[in-house]
Structure 1
Amino acid sequence: MSIEPITGRYANVDIAGRAYRIYFEEAGQGRPVLCLHTAGAHTGQWRHLMNDAKVTGANRLIAFDMPWHGKSLPPEGFQTEEYLLTTQAYIDTVLAMVDALGLERPILAGCSMGGRIALQLAALHPDRFSGFIAIEASDFQAAWYDIDWFDRPDAHGGEMGAALVSTNISPHAPPADRWATLWMFMASGPGVFRGDLSFYTQDDSLIARLGQIDTSQTPVHFLVGAYDLTCTPEDAKRTADAIPGATLSVMEELGHFPMSEHPAGFRPFFLDALERMP
């Protein structure tokens, strides 16, 4: 028997005047690295890196479940609302957790929609962070699917979501890690993946803000999987090229969920990204 070094707790925070109970996990010590999960998932995507002593020996990895996700409940009164994530709500949530945890200019590492919001924060709140690792992130992605399929009475939204994202997992991913990744989407709450994808595919406000990002103050490094069909290497390169000083690494055997679909393959790229941060 072994006990993992990851600890989990809850933070009670106020976001835009509403009370939220947000679950977070952490492991390691040293400079803080705040890790953001993808749409429709939760902090479990980061568990392999949190269990990696090479990563956590000098870094304190922290990941939290966004409201409505994983172990973070929706706010009181959610039963009368439709969940649709917005840029402002996402920014407010990340900054509220930075404050609640007392983090002093952490590195922000986000994947997919987490990478998108990392770029928003790099443009709008660079003073709150010391650097940004944008994983599977680009300026804008038009929907190539109908998000209304994820909340229907005649279809299981979680299984529909897992079927969709399965096309974005690399064929090199170990089967156990592939299925662990897909399970997170199968277990997603009703309408949650749909609400996340609304943010990811309909908010194009980032495009005009890329020029505001100053990498001389806060470095930005992109990581993108060669097998990512949602955010292709071309999408990531286009975005990185629009940010003077940004750097990019293409991960040849990885897809859209590298930290959970193929953690061993992702590990050297993540360590390299951390080395690029101050």
Structure 2
Amino acid sequence: MIEPIVGHYVTIEVQGVTQRLYFEEAGQGRPILCLHTAGADTRQWRHLMNDAEVTKANRLIAFDMPWHSKSLPPEGFQTREYLLTTETYIETVLGMVAALGLDRPVLAGCSMGGRIALQLAALHPDKFSGFIAIEASDFQPAWYDIDWFDRPDAHGGEMGAALVSANISPFAPEAERWNTLWMFMQSGPGVFRGDLSFYTRDDSLIARLGQIDTAKTPVHLIVGAYDLTCTPEDAKRTADAIPGATLSVMDEVGHFPMSEHPEGFRPFFIEALGKIPEHAA
């Protein structure tokens, strides 16, 4: 069977650097721009992109961030260190919106993607019709040493997979648990570390949460009960700081819901789409 997912490449400029990015899409209708977690790629969204009920009225688009999977690093990458910043991340997402000609898409991001979705809700709400922040919180300091993910005496991909394995729900189907871990095993040298540098060191979102206007652009948070990195308590604290934001807790899901437990995540994603008025898009 040939799946309906179609892949393309697009070139954008991010802070003066040319980036050739890979993206996939499926469906038609309201655009939903989907962001993967740290150290992973678009494959996390494949189940929803293959869901005919979801894609019959929604155009799902997911892209690999620079340095991730099919988005090669920029020219001269061997002479630089990959460290993601909030500014670079925001410019990348806005660059994709502009390059693809998306008219106020819904932004759905998980983990670091959920964090940047909230940053964009505060700083660039006019570019989007709503935000779905999955496994997202205001700030989570590292409870691990990120330098372990880029050492000559350890396999960074296997180290990353070992870490995130604790964040996958015991209810997740075994095949999807290992498919999720495989993405981290394949992560490029230092890429997971560079993503976590953004995720664990930038606390600028905390002071910005109160300026998010959910009357203009709805914000809905979704969190898994088995998420150790962003707990339901963390997500609730964050939602409470955003006037008008809503929150759903998934009882049998962890930190990577769309890939680890797609059936468990599906109804919560559909519920979140329903909270964003169609006319807003």
TM-score by length of 2: 0.98
Aligned residue pairs total 277
**Paired amino acid for 2:182:** W
Aligned to 2:275: 276
**Paired amino acid for 1:113:** M
Equivalent residues in 2 for 1:109-188 (5 A)?
A: 109-188=108-187
Aligned to 1:229: 228
User: Which deviations, in whole Å up to 9, do the C-alpha atoms of 1:7-52 show, x marking residues without a partner?
Assistant: 0000011111111100000000000000000000000000000000
User: Which deviations, in whole Å up to 9, do the C-alpha atoms of 1:195-238 show, x marking residues without a partner?
Assistant: 00000000000000001100000000000000000000000000
**Structure 2 SS opposite 1:40:** coil
Give distance in 1, aligned partners of 2:18 and 2:146. 28
Give distance in 2, aligned partners of 1:186 and 1:15. 27
Aligned to 2:262: 263
Aligned to 1:202: 201
Identical positions, percent? 83
**Structure 2 SS opposite 1:190:** coil
**Paired amino acid for 1:57:** K
Give distance in 1, aligned partners of 2:213 and 2:50. 33
User: Which deviations, in whole Å up to 9, do the C-alpha atoms of 1:152-174 show, x marking residues without a partner?
Assistant: 01100000000000000000000
1:245 partnered with 2:244: yes
Moved over 4 A (4+): none
Instruction: Give structure 2 stretches of 5+ with no counterpart.
Output: none
**Paired amino acid for 1:152:** R
Report the RMSD for the aligned CA atoms in angstroms.
0.4
TM-score by length of 1: 0.99
Give distance in 2, aligned partners of 1:131 and 1:226. 24
Aligned to 1:81: 80
Aligned to 2:44: 45
User: Which deviations, in whole Å up to 9, do the C-alpha atoms of 1:166-188 show, x marking residues without a partner?
Assistant: 00000000000000000000000
Aligned to 1:98: 97
Give distance in 2, aligned partners of 1:113 and 1:207. 15
Give distance in 1, aligned partners of 2:51 and 2:23. 18
Aligned to 1:220: 219
**Paired amino acid for 1:21:** R
**Paired amino acid for 1:141:** Q
**Paired amino acid for 1:63:** A
Give distance in 1, aligned partners of 2:198 and 2:13. 21
Aligned to 1:13: 12
Equivalent residues in 2 for 1:44-63 (5 A)?
A: 44-63=43-62
User: Which deviations, in whole Å up to 9, do the C-alpha atoms of 1:62-89 show, x marking residues without a partner?
Assistant: 0000000010011111101010000000
Give distance in 2, aligned partners of 1:102 and 1:66. 18
Instruction: Give structure 1 stretches of 5+ with no counterpart.
Output: none
